[in-house]
Amino acid sequence: MKILVTGAKGFVGKNLIAELKNRKYTDILEFTRETDQSLLDEYCKDADFVFHLAGVNRPKDQSEFMDGNLGFTSTLLEMLKRYQNTCPILISSSTQAELDNLYGISKKAGEDLLFEYSKETGAKVFVYRFPNVFGKWCRPNYNSAVATFCHNVAHEFPINVNDPSVVMNLVYIDDVVEELISALNGKANVVEDFCEVPVVHEITLGEIVNLIYSFKKSRIERSIPDMSNSFTKKLYSTYLSYLPEDQFSYDLKMNVDQRGSFTEFIKTPDRGQVSVNISKPGITKGNHWHHTKNEKFLVVSGTGVIRFRKIGTEEIIEYFVSGDKIEVVDIPTGYTHNIENLGETDMVTIMWANEYFDPEKPDTYFLEV
C-alpha cells in the first residue's frame, strides 16, 4: 500500500509516519514544502490512501491562509482527479472551522471542497476537526500553549497566562495517530459528517500550568505524578520530551557510611517508596521490625541472606538471595529482619516500602534477629 502524507515534517505528520513505520508500512510518500513539486504529480498517481495534513496556521501574511488551506487542497484534488485516483483521502481540519476568523474560514473552505470532491468522484473522505493537539515534537512558541509551557518550564523560562480559568479541549498525539491509522484500516470514528478522536481532555490553563510545575518539582521531591490519571500521564510524557538534552539526569541524595549507602529513588503518596541499598561485604543491615510498614527486597547484584524471626519466637528463617537469580522477598509485618552481604563485592538491593518514610512516625523498632 502506498500512503501519501502531506505535511510530512509537521507535528502530526512526523508522529504519524514514525508509527506507520513501526507497523511495517514501508511505502510512504512524504510530501513537504521542500519536496520537488513535480513529485506530487507522481504521488497522486500512485497513492492508495492520502493523509492530507499540510496546512497554514501562522502565516506571515493573512492571504496565506486561503493559499495554504484551500489552494493546496484544490491542487491536490485536481491531481488525483487527473489520474482518476479515487483512493480514500483524510484531511486534518480544526475546530476553528466553526468560527468566523480567517483561519477558520480557510479550514472550512478546505472541508467543503473535500466533501464536493467526494460527491463528484465517489472517493471516500475523512474530515477531522482537531482541537488543540499536544505531545512530543510539537513546536513551542508557535501555536501550542502546552508545547510552550512545557518548553519554557523545562528550560526555566517565564510563562504568561492571562486567564488561568480558560478551558482547553485537548487531544494527545498518540490518540490522534491511533485514530488516523484506524481510518486507514477502515475503522474511523465517524460522527455524522465528521470524524473524531475518541479521547478529548477538558482542563483549564491554570491546571495545566500547575501540573507542569509539579513535574519539574518532582525531581527535587523524588516523586512521580499520578499515572492513574490519563491526562497527567500524557502531559508528563510530553513535558519530559522538552527537557534540555544536557539535563536528562538529576542527582539523588546518597546516605553513605562505612556499611555502604541508602538512596531514596521514588516516593509516592499512594504507591509507596522505592530505594536503592548498597551493602559492603560482610555487612548486616536491618535488625528491626514494623507494625504496618511492609517491604519487598530485590537483590540485583551480589549475594546475601535475608533473615527473619517472628516476634515472640526463637526460630530464624533464612532466604539466600543473589543477583544471579532475580527474586522478590516480601518482608511481612511482625517479623524482625536483616540482610547480610555474604559475598566479596558490594550487594545491591532494590527496596520497596508500602509508604514513604515519615520521621515523625517511622514504624521501625530495633530488635536483633
Could you give the CA distance from residue 200 to residue 172 in angstroms, rounded to a whole number?
8
Share of the chain above pLDDT 70, in %: 95
Instruction: Name which residue leads in pLDDT, 106 or 348.
Output: 348
Could you give the CA distance from residue 307 to residue 341 in angstroms, rounded to a whole number?
12
pLDDT digits (tens, 9 = 90+) for 262-286: 999 999 988 999 999 999 999 999 9
Is 254-366 a CATH 2.60.120.10 domain? yes
Is 103 an annotated catalytic residue?
Answer: yes
What is the reported pLDDT for 69?
A: 58
Every domain range in the chain assigned CATH 3.40.50.720: 1-130
285 within 8 A of 339, measured Cβ to Cβ: yes
Instruction: Name which residue leads in pLDDT, 127 or 70.
Output: 127
pTM, full prediction: 0.91
Q: Which of 25, 83, 103, 117 is the catalytic position?
A: 103
Average pLDDT of the residues in 238-248 = 98
Q: Is the pLDDT of residue 67 over 60?
A: no
Every domain range in the chain assigned CATH 2.60.120.10: 254-366
Instruction: Name which residue leads in pLDDT, 4 or 101.
Output: 4
What is the reported pLDDT for 142?
A: 86
- Identify any residues that bridge with 299 across adjacent strands, giving them in sequence order: 349
Q: Is the pLDDT of residue 59 over 60?
A: no
Alpha-carbon Rg for the chain in angstroms? 29
CATH fold of the domain at 1-130: Rossmann fold (3.40.50)
What is the reported pLDDT for 111?
A: 87
